[in-house]
Structure 1
Amino acid sequence: MKFAFSSNAFLRYNLLDTIRIIASVGYQGIEIMADVPHAYPPHLSAGDIRDIRKALDDNCLEISNINAFMHHADGDTYHPSWIEKDPVLRAKRVDYTLACIDLAERLGAPAISTEPGGPLDGLPREEGLRFFKEGLDSVEGRARERGIRILIEPEPGLLIENSTQFKEFFRELDPEVFGINFDIGHFFCVSEDPAELMRDMKGFIHHFHLEDIAASREHHHLMLGKGAIDIPGILETANKIGYEGFVTVELYTYESRAAEAAQEAFQYLEKWRKSTKTPV
């Protein structure tokens, strides 16, 4: 497996500086946030795309994933979602996702991650599932054409928050186009065993988010080793299931000291790697 760090912790930096910092720490990859202030597709010119690609090449950094979950440029963390009651807002999420698919192709990224429907906000669950499926149907063709995988990221409190809900919904999707962005902490928050799920869902997993979570299971991302998740056990399970893709550390809660958080997390991962003699 390879390690990356998510740019969503670096909201006080531009993307080019973020790329340089993450590479200088030692990571092999970066997850790029497709939102302000980093890579919101409508704000990017052809020159911007060239500059990002050059920065990645100059710093020998791969893209682990395009994070197309948040939409602060035209809403907030969850809105406009796939399951808004207003069809105009649902269309905005579709258009944004199409633009993120195109961005992923232009930058050479393998996948984009997206929210699992969104918050129900009083919407009946069955209607939310229908809206979500309709939205994904609208972007499936573009993703297939561009060779970009769309990864759904279950999250506590949203339409799809646990493994049972994900697997039930995933039956309706093409596994050649869709998959899961497996966020370790999110499954821990809903009282599931991430290691057990990794073994059960390995065929769906194409990217990981890694963070720690307190024993209270409150959804608040903590530095690796500062919570109750058995991080070494999780990483060893990833090895055992033969996962060879990226594990991206996601610590957006450390915005005030993003560079230091990236360094601290990398040191934790390096210590684990050396203790297990695992190549990274």
Structure 2
Amino acid sequence: MKFAFSTNAFTNYSLTRSIEEISKIGYQGVEIMCDVPHAYPPNLNENKINEIKNSLSRNKLQISNLNAFTLFGLGDTYHPSWIENDKDARELRIKHTIDCINLAEKLGAKNISVEPGGPIEMSTSRNKYLELFASGIRSVLPQAEKKQIKVLIEPEPELLLESSTEFMDFMKEFDSEYLKLNFDIGHFYCVNEDPSALILKLQNFIEHFHMADIKNRKHFHLIPGHGSIDFRTAFAKMDEIGYDGYVTVELYPYKENPIGAALESMNYINSI
């Protein structure tokens, strides 16, 4: 496996500076935030895209993933989501995802990660939300398949898809090699699942991993080693399934000192 760091901890830095700092620490890859202030597609012209590519080349970094989850360019962390009651809002999420697929092709990335539907309200039935999410995914899959970019659903606590069972049930609606899983180790741990066991269970869906530690099952991303997750066993299970892709450390709560968080995370990884 290879290790990357997400730029969503570096929102106080430019994208090119973020790439430089992540490279200096020794990561092999970088996950790029497809949102303000880094790589929000409407803000990128060809010159800016070439600037990103040149920075990646100069710093000898590959893209582990394009993070298309948040949408601060139009709303916030979750909104507009795939399951808004307003059709126009849902269309904004669909358009953003297609824009990220097109950007991935231009940058040479292989996959993008997306939110698992969005926050739910009890006033609407779960089945209705699942229908809306499935409809949205069907709207973007043709472009993903055309561009050969994989769309990775990332289950998260308190969103439509939280658990491995909910994810696998949702995937029964689809038969595409371009719809897979962004396996967030901490997210599954938060919903009382064993990430190491799930690696074997979900191995046919896994395309990329997110890594952050968690304490007391509370959804708050911590530097690896600061929480309760057994990463040594998780890495052993990745080896067991022959995973040779990227594990991206995602520490967006550490915006005040992302370099320190990235360095401590790398030291922890090297220690085990």
- Structure 2, unaligned stretches of length 5 or more? none
Task: Please say which of residues 234-243 and 45-54 is displaced more in the overlay.
Answer: 234-243
TM-score, normalised via structure 2 length: 0.99
Matched residue count:
271
Residue 148 of structure 2 corresponds to 147
Which amino acid in the other structure matches residue 78 of structure 1?
Y
Matches of residues 1-280 of structure 1 in structure 2 within 5 Å? Answer: 1-122=1-122, 123-214=124-215, 216-272=216-272
Q: Give the alignment's Cα RMSD to 1 decimal.
A: 0.7
SS class of match (1:141): helix
- Structure 1, unaligned stretches of length 5 or more? 273-280
How far apart, CA to CA, are the structure 1 residues paired with 2:6 and 2:240? 24
How far apart, CA to CA, are the structure 1 residues paired with 2:176 and 2:268? 33
TM-score, normalised via structure 1 length: 0.96
How far apart, CA to CA, are the structure 2 residues paired with 1:270 and 1:51? 31
Which amino acid in the other structure matches residue 24 of structure 1?
K
How far apart, CA to CA, are the structure 2 residues paired with 1:174 and 1:63? 26
Q: Is the 8 A contact 1:175 1:204 kept in 2?
A: no
How far apart, CA to CA, are the structure 2 residues paired with 1:155 and 1:103? 24
Which amino acid in the other structure matches residue 50 of structure 2?
R
Q: Percentage identity across aligned positions?
A: 50
SS class of match (1:56): helix
How far apart, CA to CA, are the structure 2 residues paired with 1:174 and 1:250? 29
Structure 1 residue 40, shift from structure 2 partner: 0.1
SS class of match (2:271): helix
How far apart, CA to CA, are the structure 2 residues paired with 1:250 and 1:233? 19
Which amino acid in the other structure matches residue 256 of structure 1?
E
Which amino acid in the other structure matches residue 253 of structure 1?
P
How far apart, CA to CA, are the structure 2 residues paired with 1:65 and 1:175? 19
Structure 1 residue 144, shift from structure 2 partner: 0.3
How far apart, CA to CA, are the structure 1 residues paired with 2:147 and 2:83? 25
Structure 1 residue 149, shift from structure 2 partner: 0.2
SS class of match (1:119): coil
Structure 1 residue 121, shift from structure 2 partner: 2.4
